[in-house]
Copies of this chain bind each other. A is one copy, B any other.
Amino acid sequence: MATKHILIVPGDGIGQEVTAIGKKVLDKIAAKFGHTFTYDEALVGHAAIEATGNPLPDESLEKMRKSDAVLFGAVGHPKYDNDPSAKVRPEQGLLKMRKELGLYANLRPIKLFDELLDASSIKPEILKGADILFFRELTGDIYFGEKGRKNNGDTAFDVAEYSRFEVERIARKAFEAARTRRKKLCSVDKANVIETSRLWREVVQKIAPEYPDVEVEHQFVDATAMLLIKDPRRFDVVVTANLFGDILTDEASQIAGSMGMLASASVGDGTGVYEPIHGSAHDITGKGIANPLASILSAALLLDISFGMTAESAAVINAVDQVLKAGFRTGDIANAQTPKDKILGTEAIGEEVLKCL
């Protein structure tokens, strides 16, 4: 019986709708297991820009620092995407949060619920049993290096940077996770071209002997993008840089049937942040059809990783599994065979999960 303070940060677009369901699930868990969860809310992204002019107001950051965990929605808005010259952008809030909270490790588990075998574009016989845990480095690389213009604005540049220290700490987390799983680690880089990748490979090679029980392979990012689809079962734990991780985990969402099913945990020096890997999806915002299962599964990761509540976390995952087994689907994970009345909206599928808890 624990007392915990959870910050809900809905962000933009469907972030609002899905974190509302994630919160309900946390509430139900608290009731069921006798915990006390208190909540607060904070603004980030476009929502924060509208309210304060700042994509990550100091007040939001303070609230994050003071809470035991953050349940995050998504940020982004088409307005900025179509205006490459915008100076203030929702994503700056997200990136600043990651940097300020020292969230250097982004864990993205990719696992297909058996019931969704047919929801993927990939053949079931290729997918069955696939289970990958990505460690994406989250506070370095081209995301955080110097960037700007020169030659009167005619040339743009971005600097990618990694230090040994940054590579080592994420690599160690990945090695340790591999130990608790199938003991295979794939480190992904582009060491045949890029210097940051060569440092990356050097560091991983250097610490590998400390984990003799883990089998390490190095793959180039282009080959990995291919192998993830060709043979997803060959991967166990994958560790990679920020940009490559961004691309590969979105791609790998297809292994899990839909982006709408994938949760992520960002952890490091302080408060952990838990969020779906999907974006703000303004095209479906407010329609009540967004898939809240990724937010629910983010809540499960939060319970497990930040609170050490493994039974509670398992209960959530099990509830999602039962709902899928009962045939309920949101539109994004339905297929031609799904009966119409089993296709539910955001609220309704959330209710089904609550019933199973």
Residues of A in contact with B (beta carbons under 8 Å apart):
76, 80-82, 84-85, 89, 91, 95, 121-123, 126, 142-143, 145, 147-149, 151, 154-165, 190-202, 205, 218, 221-223, 225-226, 228-231, 243-244, 246-251, 253-254, 259, 279
Contact = CB atoms under 8 A, between A and B. Distances in A.
A190 B158 CA distance: 12
A223 B157 CA distance: 23
B143 A81 contact: no
A158 B202 contact: no
Contacts of A222: 246-247, 249-251
Contact of A198 (B154, B156, B199): B156
| Oligomer copy total | 2
Nearest to A204: B84
A229 B254 contact: yes
Contact of A157 (B95, B190, B195, B221): B195
Contacts of A148: 195
A250 B231 contact: no
A222 B254 CA distance: 12
A228 B247 CA distance: 12
B231 A247 contact: no
Given A84-B198, A155-B164, A158-B160, 14 more contacts: A82-B218, A84-B202, A121-B123, A142-B158, A147-B196, A155-B162, A156-B195, A156-B200, A159-B159, A190-B246, A222-B246, A223-B279, A225-B225, A226-B250
A253 B225 CA distance: 10
B154 A142 contact: no
Given A121-B122, A123-B122, A157-B145, A226 B201 contact: no
A193 to B, nearest CB: 6
Contacts of A250: 222-223, 225-226
A290 B82 CA distance: 45
Contacts of A249: 222
A157 B166 CA distance: 13
A248 B231 contact: no
Nearest to A336: B125
